Amino acid sequence: MIISDSTIKNLIKKNKLIIEPFENYLLQPASIDLRLGSDYLKIDENQMEIMTLEDKLNYNKINSEEIVIPPHSFLLATTEEYIELPNNLTAFVEGRSSIGRMGLFIQNAGWVDPGFAGKITLELFNANRLPIKLKAGRRICQLVIAEMDKAAEFPYQGKYQGQNTAVGSKVFKDNENKKK
């Protein structure tokens, strides 16, 4: 069941759901808006000729209050908000409709698992033919939170736990890549 604005606010008040910094204006009827942080990662296209699922990727780190995403370009970003989900809540990230209508696709690969703690890394893609300028602190996406039928038996303890900046792919750490 997706939880409502009043339930989100109540859980935050009781410290059962952590979203910091929290501002009332971020609450939506069935979600909470999250703002763009100032940390970004861009694939270092000059250091590799191909990406694989087995090798660590090289990124250029960018810290800026403003950034321009060129047409047809991909960039990792982070949310301003740090979140902690209890073991009985899961969430997913959706782009804001107003921003999607400009051609900026905002994704987060998969669910935000129960037990996750950290800032959320966002995948941004400018599908437009014009550059898009973004500023830190602007509402960029929304977090839709759902209550699970019971608490997770094995809450998230994965490779992205505790991230505080944009974090690149760690697919190279997957079990499939471990030598037998």
- Tell me if residue 169 falls in helix, strand or coil: coil
d(CA 60, CA 142): 26
Structure token pair of residue 162:
């505790």
Pick the catalytic residue: 84, 94, 123, 147? 123
Q: What is the DSSP string of 146-163?
A: EE-SS--SS----TTTT-
Locus of tokens 């990662």: 41
d(CA 19, CA 7): 13
> Integer distance in angstroms from the first to the last C-alpha of the chain?
41
Contact 140, 122 (CB under 8 A): yes
Is residue 123 part of the annotated active site? The answer reads yes
Which of the residues are catalytic?
A: 123
